[in-house]
């Protein structure tokens, strides 16, 4: 008799536990859904009959800023808002498989307490008071797992909160669910053996992105108004792109990342490049509100890695801004729809009062390889050891990409660091116009060299990971959907591909 691999029974228990955390009255019967299911799931919660008109109104159109003002004005209670988002998140989970840990019951209790506190004191703790916030599974909440889709990390409830969780609770936020991720966090599709794959609710044939892919799908489904993700190669910005959201990856020393589960041993994050935590949201002002709330908590007093940087509003620019446009990183030429979209952004800026400058940098094309080298310095030894404990295999996409190898030597790491400093120094030049000497205020570039691809076809992360290597703040802004006119261009097949990434990218067009 062949014994079942231990990871399978863990996955079964975790999925059962998750299902049982949704109140039975919120479970969608097949009759509430069209058959077959459409590729686009976004409207299904509205037509399911499970949400009241008020719940639809609360969850469909508001952002944190407007919800917070309704709480302040006592137009809505936190309990009403939190319940509405719990319910819609439950529907999103059943349609997109976007959640891991579900805390609906304790969240609604907490919302009531926060309402009482406001009634009693007349004071809101912050603009996050009473607001439901979803968290990527990596964040630890005392008493709940942070399994990040690895069976051997499951059924080990956290003994303490991540610092960011403490801060959000102090600020009055209501934490009500954690969201699904790729196994090991090192994939761009949020698929794992414990919880399964997150579906992209805008088109279930396409990827929802990763590693904060559960956040992306949940917020696109309006099952969350604001979520917190993490990003070391594009893991906030890629799901934001896939799901039409705003997503900000701050520089690493801004938002506390400490105390998360990341399938790495303590200290490992200090050897290579540093991940950031940051918001995914439906409005830019919500991203700003979140970042300001965190900064206002003086996180540098509790996390030694955070810079002392009190929030200062940027105000208006003193002169005409200069916006850099980066059409290509020099190793993967964006496909025609991306270039078309970027061109139309460029033209829109040019026809306004904003000056633009086309940015190129020979250093940029070296960034993706270097970032990849940093990602693998330990030879994945800890990850493979975690998987072997429960005989868990790699997910299909990783199975052809991740192989155990020896850790690099101290001398190799020194060489990588030297190369990094060299590229960082070279890249500083992109912030100044070579002709006029003017400072570039911001740079617009693609999130990826291709539109949102089918599942397991994301190709290369140079357009996102390079800004982690540089530790620049970077974010995804939704511009518009790709339209038929964007598809008109053709890949210039007469020129040889610039790299293997470029070759794979061209394949996406075929």
- Confirm or reject binding of residue 417 to its own copies (CB under 8 A): yes
Closer to its own copies by CB, 198 or 248: give it: 248
154, 16 Cβ separation under 8 angstroms: no
- Confirm or reject binding of residue 303 to its own copies (CB under 8 A): yes
Closer to its own copies by CB, 65 or 416: give it: 416
Please confirm, yes or no, whether 162 is among the known catalytic residues: no
User: CB atoms < 10 A from the CB of 85, how many?
Assistant: 30
How are beta strands 246-249 and 474-476 bridged, if at all? antiparallel
User: Of residues 75, 105, 307, 399, which one binds its own copies by CB under 8 A?
Assistant: 307
First to last CA, the chain: 46
- Confirm or reject binding of residue 470 to its own copies (CB under 8 A): yes
Q: Which of residues 145-204 bind its own copies (CB under 8 A)?
A: none
- Confirm or reject binding of residue 442 to its own copies (CB under 8 A): no
- Confirm or reject binding of residue 304 to its own copies (CB under 8 A): yes
> Phi and psi (nearest 5°) for 493?
-80, -5
State the catalytic residue, choosing from 14, 87, 136, 365: 136
Shortest CB 105 distance to its own copies, Å? 33
- Confirm or reject binding of residue 492 to its own copies (CB under 8 A): no
The two structure tokens encoding residue 323: 């916006």
Stretch that binds its own copies, among 47-55, 116-124, 324-332, 421-429 (CB under 8 A): 421-429
User: Of residues 5, 46, 345, 416, which one binds its own copies by CB under 8 A?
Assistant: 416
Q: Which helix (H) or strand (E) holds 246?
A: strand 246-249
User: Of residues 16, 54, 57, 268, which one binds its own copies by CB under 8 A?
Assistant: 268
86, 249 Cβ separation under 8 angstroms: no
189, 208 Cβ separation under 8 angstroms: yes
Shortest CB 91 distance to its own copies, Å? 40
Please confirm, yes or no, whether 178 is among the known catalytic residues: no
Shortest CB 303 distance to its own copies, Å? 7
User: Of residues 33, 46, 70, 413, which one binds its own copies by CB under 8 A?
Assistant: 413
- Confirm or reject binding of residue 270 to its own copies (CB under 8 A): yes
d(CA 47, CA 51): 9
Closest listed residue to residue 288, CA positions, set 278, 297, 303, 298: 278
The two structure tokens encoding residue 218: 């949940």
- Return the bridge partners of 355, or none: 322
Shortest CB 103 distance to its own copies, Å? 27
Helices 78-96 and 104-121: angle between axes, nearest 10 degrees: 160
d(CA 29, CA 321): 54
Query: What track of x and - describes contact with its own copies for positions 373 through 412 (by CB under 8 A)?
Result: ----xx----------------------------xxxxx-
Shortest CB 414 distance to its own copies, Å? 4
For its own copies, how many residues bind (rule: CB under 8 A)? 37
For residue 15, how far is the Cα from the chain centroid?
Answer: 23
- Confirm or reject binding of residue 302 to its own copies (CB under 8 A): yes
Please confirm, yes or no, whether 106 is among the known catalytic residues: no
List the alpha helices (DSSP H) in 75-148: 78-96, 104-121
DSSP string computed for 414-452: HHHHHHHHHHHHHHGGGGB-TTT-PBP-EEE--SSSSSS
214, 137 Cβ separation under 8 angstroms: yes
Shortest CB 310 distance to its own copies, Å? 10
Residue with tokens 């890695």: 305
Stretch that binds its own copies, among 207-215, 301-309, 320-328, 340-348 (CB under 8 A): 301-309
Residues marked as catalytic: 136, 211, 235
> Contact residues for its own copies (CB under 8 A)?
258, 265-268, 270-271, 301-305, 307, 377-378, 407-411, 413-422, 424-425, 427-428, 431-432, 470
């Amino acid at each position: 008799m062949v014994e079942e691999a231990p990871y399978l029974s863990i996955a079964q228990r975790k999925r059962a536990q998750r299902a049982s955390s949704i109140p039975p009255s919120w479970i969608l019967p097949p009759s509430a859904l069209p058959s077959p299911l459409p590729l686009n799931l976004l409207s299904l919660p509205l037509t399911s009959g499970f949400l009241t008109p008020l719940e639809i109104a609360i969850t469909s159109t508001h952002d944190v800023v407007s919800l917070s003002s309704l709480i302040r004005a006592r137009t809505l209670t936190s309990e009403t808002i939190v319940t509405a988002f719990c319910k819609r998140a439950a529907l999103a989970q059943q349609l997109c498989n976007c959640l891991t840990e579900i805390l609906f019951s304790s969240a609604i209790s907490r919302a009531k307490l926060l309402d009482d506190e406001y009634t009693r004191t007349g004071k809101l703790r912050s603009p996050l008071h009473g607001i439901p916030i979803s968290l990527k599974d990596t964040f630890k909440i005392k008493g709940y797992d942070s399994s990040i889709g690895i069976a051997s990390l499951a059924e080990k409830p956290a003994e303490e909160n991540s610092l960011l969780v403490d801060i959000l609770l102090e600020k009055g936020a209501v934490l009500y669910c954690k969201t699904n991720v790729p196994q090991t966090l090192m994939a761009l599709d949020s698929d794992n053996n414990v919880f399964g794959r997150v579906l992209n609710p805008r088109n279930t044939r396409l990827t929802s992105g990763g590693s904060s892919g559960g956040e992306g799908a949940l917020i696109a489904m309006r099952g969350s108004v604001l979520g917190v993700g993490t990003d070391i190669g594009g893991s906030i910005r890629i799901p934001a792109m896939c799901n039409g959201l705003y997503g900000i990856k701050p520089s690493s020393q801004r938002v506390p990342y400490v105390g998360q589960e990341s399938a790495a041993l303590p200290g490992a994050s200090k050897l290579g490049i540093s991940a950031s935590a940051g918001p995914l949201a439906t409005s830019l002002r919500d991203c700003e509100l979140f970042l300001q709330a965190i900064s206002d908590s003086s996180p540098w007093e509790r996390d030694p890695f955070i810079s002392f940087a009190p929030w200062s509003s940027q105000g208006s620019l003193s002169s005409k801004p200069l916006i850099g446009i980066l059409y290509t990183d020099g190793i993967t030429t964006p496909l025609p729809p991306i270039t078309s979209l970027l061109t139309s952004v460029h033209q829109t800026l040019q026809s306004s009062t904003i000056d633009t400058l086309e940015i190129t940098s020979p250093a940029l094309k070296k960034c993706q390889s270097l970032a990849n080298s940093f990602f693998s310095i330990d030879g994945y030894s800890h990850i493979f050891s975690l998987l072997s404990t429960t005989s868990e295999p790699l997910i299909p996409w990783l199975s052809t990409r991740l192989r155990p190898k020896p850790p690099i030597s101290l001398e190799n790491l020194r060489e990588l660091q030297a190369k990094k400093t060299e590229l960082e120094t070279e890249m500083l030049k992109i912030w100044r116009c070579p002709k006029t000497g003017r400072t570039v205020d911001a740079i617009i570039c693609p999130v990826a060299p291709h539109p949102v691809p089918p599942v397991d076809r994301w190709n290369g992360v140079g357009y996102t990971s390079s800004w982690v290597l540089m530790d620049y703040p970077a974010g995804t802004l939704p511009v518009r959907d790709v339209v038929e006119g964007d598809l008109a261009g053709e890949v210039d097949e007469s020129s040889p591909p610039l790299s293997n990434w470029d070759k794979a990218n061209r394949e996406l067009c075929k």
